Amino acid sequence: MATGDHSQTSGATPPIIACQALTKDFSRGRQTAPILADVNLAVDPGGFVTILGQSGGGKSTLLKLLGGFIPPTSGQVLFHGLPLPGITPKIGMVFQENTLYPWLTVEQNIGFGFKVRGKQPAQYRQQVKHFLEHVGLFSARQLYPHQLSGGMKQRVSIARSIAVQPDVLLLDEPFSALDIQLRRRLQGFLSAIWQDMATTMVLVTHNVEEAILLGQRLIVVGDRPGRIIETVDLSDPRFRDRYDARFLALQRHLEGVIEADAYMQDSRLPSHSAEMRSTIPNPAFNPSPKT
Ligand SMILES: Nc1ncnc2c1ncn2[C@@H]1O[C@H](COP(=O)(O)OP(=O)(O)OP(=O)(O)O)[C@@H](O)[C@H]1O
Ligand SMILES: [Mg+2]
């Protein structure tokens, strides 16, 4: 089941991105609230980590720290083994909110990363065309964001981030506003990009099924303060089939873990150690059965 050491990678190669003893406090009026406490995580190159947790638990904050968008209160983020000083084009981010530039067309939005790097359109036209086709938006290339559906906007956001070939792509609930059919199509789309481009991905979601289906490893962030309360290895191909019995058992287990965490908050218990969590009714599940 959960391992104590959440920073473990396969060990074959050094992690591409990692955080060590990471904490983040935010001030609320005169008080300081600890949002994340002692988060340790290491992601293999080409890995896909999914992050689950209840609302307000600090998932977006963790992603922003990993992308260098905000500084940690203590601890550090390591990128290619070196402390991450701030944002870098090598780490892309698809934010929870729609962040397309409304005054640019689909094509210009996707080419934006090249433009800010001082490239001339002739130098990146082909790459933009490739990504337009890849995300199925070639015929919509002249449209502006307000003329797009929610799913189209998300595809443009992902294409814009991936076009400049970051080493790591961070995705904050990229499909949360979409209906189930479109969500599933875009999950397949993201999975295909991950396989084709071997980009390391870290994706936050509220959707347990999505977290299992897409990830090679899954972490659950517990609330107040946010910290990793469970890690699951998803490399078994049975986790690619949402109807597999093992998949469904894990889904049920994780829903129990998140519910138990929410219950701990609601009960205002002073602490939520692993021992206390184990007293909460929780469907028995062993993610690594011997058989
Ligand atoms: N810039 C900020 N200043 C003060 N508090 C903040 C700031 N950003 C986030 N917080 C607080 O940190 C906590 C975690 O927020 P965060 O957005 O990381 O949660 P989350 O897990 O992503 O939630 P959700 O699932 O709803 O997106 C919340 O209580 C939020 O109010
Ligand atoms: Mg969030």
Summarize pLDDT for 31-60 with one digit per residue, the tens. 899 999 999 999 999 999 999 998 888 999
Residue 36 falls inside a structural domain: yes
Indicate the pLDDT class of residue 3, thresholds 50, 70 and 90: very low
Residue 37 falls inside a structural domain: yes
* Nearest bound ligand to the CA of residue 224: 1
Number of domains in the chain: 1
Residue nearest to atom 1 of ligand 1 (CA): 26
Indicate the pLDDT class of residue 172, thresholds 50, 70 and 90: very high
Residue 30 falls inside a structural domain: yes
Nearest to 24 by CA among 37, 14, 11, 8: 37
Q: List the domain range (segments joined by +) for residue 265.
A: 1-42+55-90+203-280
Beta partners for residue 27, in sequence order: 32
- Label residue 232 left, alpha or beta by phi (over 0 means left) and psi (-120 to 50 means alpha): beta
- Label residue 250 left, alpha or beta by phi (over 0 means left) and psi (-120 to 50 means alpha): alpha
Residue 230 falls inside a structural domain: yes
| CATH number, position 265 | 3.40.50
Residue 256 falls inside a structural domain: yes
The residue to mutate among 22, 26, 31, 219, having the most atoms of ligand 1 within 8 angstroms of its beta carbon, is: 26
The alpha carbon of 142 and the centre of ligand 1 are apart by a number of angstroms equal to 35
> Cα(38)–Cα(134) distance, rounded to whole angstroms?
39
Residue 23 falls inside a structural domain: yes
| pTM for the full predicted model | 0.86
Please state the φ and ψ torsions of residue 31, each to the nearest 5 degrees.
-100, 160
User: Which residues have CB under 8 Å from 194's CB, separation 6+?
Assistant: 48, 201, 214
Residue 287 falls inside a structural domain: no
Residue nearest to atom 30 of ligand 1 (CA): 56
The alpha carbon of 61 and the centre of ligand 1 are apart by a number of angstroms equal to 6
Residue 98 falls inside a structural domain: no
* Nearest bound ligand to the CA of residue 61: 1
Pairing of strands 200-204, 168-172: parallel
Residue 162 pLDDT > 60 = yes
Write out the residues surrounding ion ligand 2, Cβ under 5 A: 60
Indicate the pLDDT class of residue 7, thresholds 50, 70 and 90: low
The alpha carbon of 62 and the centre of ligand 2 are apart by a number of angstroms equal to 9
H helix or E strand, kind and range, residue 49: strand 48-53
Average pLDDT over residues 78-94: 94
The alpha carbon of 55 and the centre of ligand 2 are apart by a number of angstroms equal to 7
